[in-house]
Amino acid sequence: MPVISHNQQQFHLSHEEEEKLNHFQAITAFPGDDLPSVIKLLERDGWGLEMALSHYFDGDWKELIKPVEAPRIPDRPPTPTPVGSPTIQRNAMSRGPFVAADSNLVPALRNVKPLPVDYKERYRSIGLNKRNTGIWQLDQQESPFIVILMFLPKLLWRLGISIGSFIWGIITFGFRSHIQEGPRVFNLPGAPKDEPLPLSKTLPQMISDESVMERLSNLICKDMTFNDALKQCEEEFKYLLLIFVGDTNPVEGEIADVNSQRLLNQILTNDTVLRFLEEHQDEIIIYARHVAELEPWLVAKELKIKYTPECLLVGNVLNSNGGLNGVTKLSVLSKLRVSSPKKFYHSLKMVYDRFNPELIVSRTEKDELKLAREIKQLQDSAYEESLRRDHLKKEQRELAQEEEKAKRGRELEVAKDKKVQSTLNQLAWLKACHSRLITEEVSAAKSEKRATLQFRTSNGARLVLKFPGETSLYDLYVKIGCHLYLNYYRNDLQDWSKQILRRIQELSQNEEFLCFKDNWTGCRSDQVPQLIEQELFNLGDGNLQLGNPKMDFELISPFPRKKIDPNAAAFLRDVPELWPNGSMLVEEIFDDDADTDTDEEESQRS
pLDDT digits (tens, 9 = 90+) for 429-439: 888 888 877 77
Mean pLDDT comparison of 146-150, 173-177, 354-358, 564-568, highest-scoring range: 354-358
The residue-averaged pLDDT of 102-122 equals 78
The pLDDT of residue 469 is 82
Give me the residue spans of the domains in the chain.
3-62, 193-360, 416-605
Longest dimension (CA), the chain: 178
Q: Is the pLDDT of residue 124 over 70?
A: no
The pLDDT of residue 454 is 87
Q: Is the pLDDT of residue 564 over 60?
A: yes
Nearest to 294 by CA among 225, 219, 221, 201: 225
How far apart are the C-alpha atoms of 504 and 525, rounded to whole Å? 10
How far apart are the C-alpha atoms of 444 and 465, rounded to whole Å? 12
Q: Is the pLDDT of residue 221 over 60?
A: yes
Mean pLDDT comparison of 11-25, 278-292, 314-328, 486-500, highest-scoring range: 278-292
Least confident of 247-251, 394-398, 502-506: 247-251
Q: Is the pLDDT of residue 224 over 60?
A: yes
SS3 percent helix, strand, coil of the chain, rounded to 5, is 50, 15, 40
**Percent of the chain, pLDDT > 70?**
80
Neighbours of 24 (CB within 10 A): 20
For residues 174-195, one letter each, b for 16 or more C-beta atoms within 10 angstroms of the residue's C-beta and e for the rest, the string is eeeeeeeeeeeebebbebbbee
Least confident of 22-31, 173-182, 372-381: 173-182
**Percent of the chain, pLDDT > 90?**
24
Q: Do domains 3-62 and 193-360 have the same CATH topology?
A: no
Q: Give the 3-state secondary structure of residue 423.
A: helix
At position 112, the amino acid (one-letter code) is V
Tell whether domain 416-605 is in CATH 3.90.1640.10.
no
Least confident of 61-70, 94-103, 508-517, 536-545: 94-103
The residue-averaged pLDDT of 90-102 equals 38
Contact by Cβ (8 Å): 588, 458: yes
The pLDDT of residue 283 is 93
Cβ contacts of 557 within 8 Å, gap of 6 or more: 563, 564, 577, 578, 582, 583, 584, 585
Nearest to 284 by CA among 229, 357, 210: 229
The pLDDT of residue 282 is 93
- Residue 444: HSE in the Cβ half-sphere, 13 Å Cα cutoff: 10
Torsion on CA atoms 314, 315, 321, 322, rounded to nearest 10:
100
Contacts of 517-526 spanning 24+ positions with Cβ under 8 A: 525/434, 525/437, 525/497, 525/498, 525/500, 525/501
Q: Is the pLDDT of residue 132 over 50?
A: no
How far apart are the C-alpha atoms of 430 and 438, rounded to whole Å? 13
Torsion on CA atoms 507, 512, 514, 516, rounded to nearest 10:
20
* Banded pLDDT at 93 (limits 50, 70, 90): very low
Mean pLDDT comparison of 395-399, 441-445, 598-602, highest-scoring range: 395-399
Contact by Cβ (8 Å): 283, 276: no
The pLDDT of residue 284 is 95
Q: Give the 3-state secondary structure of residue 329.
A: strand
How far apart are the C-alpha atoms of 323 and 37, rounded to whole Å? 17
Nearest to 291 by CA among 333, 252, 253, 263: 263
Q: Is the pLDDT of residue 241 over 90?
A: yes
Is the pLDDT higher at 242 or at 141? 242
The pLDDT of residue 227 is 93
How far apart are the C-alpha atoms of 419 and 403, rounded to whole Å? 24
How far apart are the C-alpha atoms of 261 and 605, rounded to whole Å? 96
The pLDDT of residue 386 is 92
Q: Is the pLDDT of residue 85 over 50?
A: no
| CATH number listed for the domain at residues 193-360 | 3.40.30.10
Q: Is the pLDDT of residue 605 over 90?
A: no
Is the pLDDT higher at 99 or at 358? 358
Least confident of 69-83, 186-200, 305-319: 69-83
Nearest to 132 by CA among 195, 189, 196, 197: 189
The helix or strand, by DSSP H or E, that contains position 313, with its residue range, turns out to be strand 310-318
* Banded pLDDT at 281 (limits 50, 70, 90): very high
Contact by Cβ (8 Å): 428, 435: no
Least confident of 197-201, 248-252, 290-294, 485-489: 248-252
The helix or strand, by DSSP H or E, that contains position 15, with its residue range, turns out to be helix 15-28
pLDDT digits (tens, 9 = 90+) for 460-497: 888 888 888 888 888 888 888 888 888 888 877 778 88
* Banded pLDDT at 191 (limits 50, 70, 90): confident
Contact by Cβ (8 Å): 583, 453: yes
* Banded pLDDT at 128 (limits 50, 70, 90): very low
The pLDDT of residue 330 is 92
* CB-count exposure of residue 287 (10 Å: 0-12, 13-18, 19+): buried
pLDDT digits (tens, 9 = 90+) for 416-461: 888 888 888 888 888 888 887 777 666 655 667 888 888 888 888 8
Least confident of 389-403, 468-482, 583-597: 583-597
The residue-averaged pLDDT of 11-19 equals 80
Q: Is the pLDDT of residue 514 over 60?
A: yes
Q: Is the pLDDT of residue 65 over 50?
A: yes
Q: Is the pLDDT of residue 89 over 60?
A: no
Side by side, the strands of the sheet bearing 239-245 are 110-111, 328-335, 310-318, 239-245, 284-290
The pLDDT of residue 300 is 93
Q: What is the CATH architecture of 3-62?
A: Orthogonal Bundle (1.10)
How far apart are the C-alpha atoms of 314 and 226, rounded to whole Å? 12
